[in-house]
Chains A and B, each alone.
Chain A
Amino acid sequence: MKLPPITNGFEIVYKKPDTLTDTPMHYCPGCGHGVVHRVLMEVVDEMKIQDKTIGVAPVGCSVFAYNYMNVDMQEAAHGRATAVATGIKRVLPDRFVFTYQGDGDLAAIGTGETVHTVNRGENILIVFINNGVYGMTGGQMAPTTLLGMKTTTSPYGREAASAGFPLKITNLITQLPGALYVTRQAVHEPNAVRRLKKAVRLAFEYQLLKKGTCFIEVVSNCPSGWKMTPQESNKWMEENMFPMYPLGDLKVPSQTMN
């Protein structure tokens, strides 16, 4: 006997986006990566652009993004995602092209690519997951690591005198004329997730304008690298990361388009 779907008679108000695969995610419990993946694919679903979307993943914890995002996904060499995306977008200008990169990938080894991609105003979306450490390699200090923050390679806490200051690369690229839309978001609570989704939707739509690069920083956590429980990490993020990396828009198109 075939059972009727349990949703019979109910209205579906929330479900996994179709463009997110059923593959169980490998991310640590409480890690922000999975939520951002989901938000991206929700927008792709809503805009019905699955067949027109191409993603470029980094080397970092999100190397496996192709397992979860059911769109064409290219994993670039470490730091080169926006460069590979540039090549793709230049020959397929009518596709929605995005990169998905950690802070090591985007703001350490890939700094040059990041700056020049935005400076050229490539019509792509750059999604930047800032968790303040190199998560994948075991939680070492990154350029984004907060002062005083202990990591495996800053065992006594980051010191400005020897390791410099946390790099606010999002503020830096905001200054570039090629940047069309720059915003900083988070995924630590439901309202933040909703705001991120709005930003992603806008950024995908702006790609059609062909007016420059969209750049979304997501201030995120790394419970494993930070050696905290997921809840502690979210609290720590609010108290320590947000003051250094305040959430909100840094540049919106009206400022750039006239």
Chain B
Amino acid sequence: MSFSSSVVQLRSGNQMMAEGAIQAGCKFFAGYPITPATGIFKTMIDLLPANAGVALSAPDEISAIAYCIGASMRGFKTMTATSGPGWSLMIESVQYALMTETPLVVALVQRLGPSTGGATQGGQGDVLLAEFCTSGGYTLPVLCPTNAKECFELTILAFTWSEILRMPVILLSDKETGMTVESIDYSTLSNATSQNRPSNFAFRDYGEFQKEQRKGTYYIDALQEIPTFAPVGGDRKVTATGSAHDKQGKLQKNSPETIDMLIHLEEKLRWRHDDFSLVNMDLQESAKTLVISYGITSRAAKDAVGAARNVGHAVSSLVIQSLFPIPVKKLAQALDGIERVVVVEENMHGLYRSVLERYCNGQRVQGVNKIGAMITPKEILNAILG
């Protein structure tokens, strides 16, 4: 790797995502420039070739994500990065990756929307657009870092999740997290790489080939099973299709096996739900108020929680890093004994709050929301004390 040997370095969240991707074993990146995500693209262009990888400039986001899917079908760990306008264009192929069970990491560095919106204005307005981008409402893992160091760590985790689940994973960052330059102490970073998809690259003799080739790349015995990946251009015939398909990857309309395969796409994550959750909990036993935050607003929330405690006000904090699947167990734990929940997010009317509300039972849920500027600790403190 070509990172500097000096231990403390100034790095942006975008750079750290790229460095995390390299450490995770990402060998293929394709991108199209868009503020505030261009830094990831630029860093991958700088780092990947020296790390035996391929970094490509695509003519648009539709191509960028499709290049990645092609490379991932061969077994490469791949990544692309964009912001809201480009994400909108990628949604078709994100679904294709889901349907074809192709691992892929997409960094979505949010800016103010809708449409072209504000290229240099941050926001947290894409939370639901990221999650609910599939027809059928499939659960896609969405990981959300709050600082440059987490950009590194969660990127590696995103690769692991995407590989072992064989599905696209979204890294939901934002302009401030992605572009703010912070001190990174490299000695505190883990050396761990990401896990690999269960795969079958092995050469097999002809008899076995015949037997196995029926299995293609989708074969499962139970709905929740993750099928063993077989690469294109390998020893067994592999068919992949974005159309509804049976276990052999053959297009079918609505045969029972095909419907099973559609259910399987959700089931493989739902069944492992609890293994795919990540939060930072800072609970106070006597607290009646819980502040829930994610991404950049967590940093203001942390200050506000500290300030409230300084004036003797007990308050708990839950920073959610795995926005989806919703970490229900940890959420329930944090909600225990709580009467009031304050959800802080930089969007107009509480996008994630609208999803969390149904998991709260009896608590009063209120939001601290704003668009066009960052939420301040004072605004959150007022909500905590108010």
Contacts and interface: CB of A to CB of B under 8 A. Distances in A.
13 contacts: A59-B116, A77-B116, A78-B116, A108-B32, A109-B32, A137-B33, A137-B38, A138-B38, A143-B59, A152-B45, A153-B41, A154-B45, A163-B57
A4 B55 CA distance: 65
A152 B34 CA distance: 13
Interface of A is mostly: loop
Contacts, number: 48
Contacts of B56: 162-163
A153 B55 CA distance: 10
Interface string A139-167: 01101000000001111000000110000
Nearest to A59: B116
Interface in B132-164: none
B309 to A, nearest CB: 42
Nearest to B85: A78
Interface residues of A, number: 22
A143 B38 CA distance: 17
B274 interface: no
Contacts of A134: 33
A143 B34 CA distance: 16
B59 A153 contact: no
B35 A152 contact: no
A153 B115 contact: no
Given A79-B60, A153-B57, A137 B116 contact: no
A217 interface: no
A63 B46 CA distance: 29
Contacts of A163: 56-57
Interface string A112-146: 00000000000000000000001001101101000
Interface centre among B32, B38, B57, B116 (most CB of A within 10 A): B57
A134 B32 CA distance: 10
Interface of A: 59, 63, 75, 77-79, 104, 108-109, 111, 134, 137-138, 140-141, 143, 152-155, 162-163
Interface in B94-116: 115-116
B54 to A, nearest CB: 8
Given A77-B115, A109-B60, A162-B56, 7 more contacts: A75-B116, A77-B116, A108-B60, A138-B38, A152-B42, A153-B42, A154-B57
Nearest to B61: A109
B116 A153 contact: no
Contacts of A111: 59
A69 B266 CA distance: 52
Contacts of A108: 32, 59-60
User: 7 shortest A-B CB distances, which residue pairs?
Assistant: A109-B60, A137-B33, A108-B59, A140-B33, A153-B45, A134-B33, A141-B57
Interface string B17-41: 0000000000000001111001001
Contacts of B33: 104, 134, 137-138, 140, 153
Contacts of B85: 59, 77-78
A253 B199 CA distance: 60
A182 B262 CA distance: 51
Contacts of B38: 137-138, 140
Contact of A137 (B35, B45, B46, B115): B35
Contacts of B46: 155
Contacts of A77: 85, 115-116
B70 to A, nearest CB: 15
A103 to B, nearest CB: 11
B51 to A, nearest CB: 15
A83 to B, nearest CB: 14
Interface in B46-80: 46, 56-57, 59-61
A109 B34 CA distance: 12
B80 to A, nearest CB: 14
A223 B115 CA distance: 29
Nearest to B60: A109
Most chain B Cβ neighbours within 10 Å, of A77, A109, A163: A109
Contacts of B34: 137
Nearest to B31: A153
B49 to A, nearest CB: 9
A134 B85 CA distance: 16
Contacts of A137: 33-35, 38
B141 to A, nearest CB: 28
Contacts of B42: 140, 152-153
B59 to A, nearest CB: 4
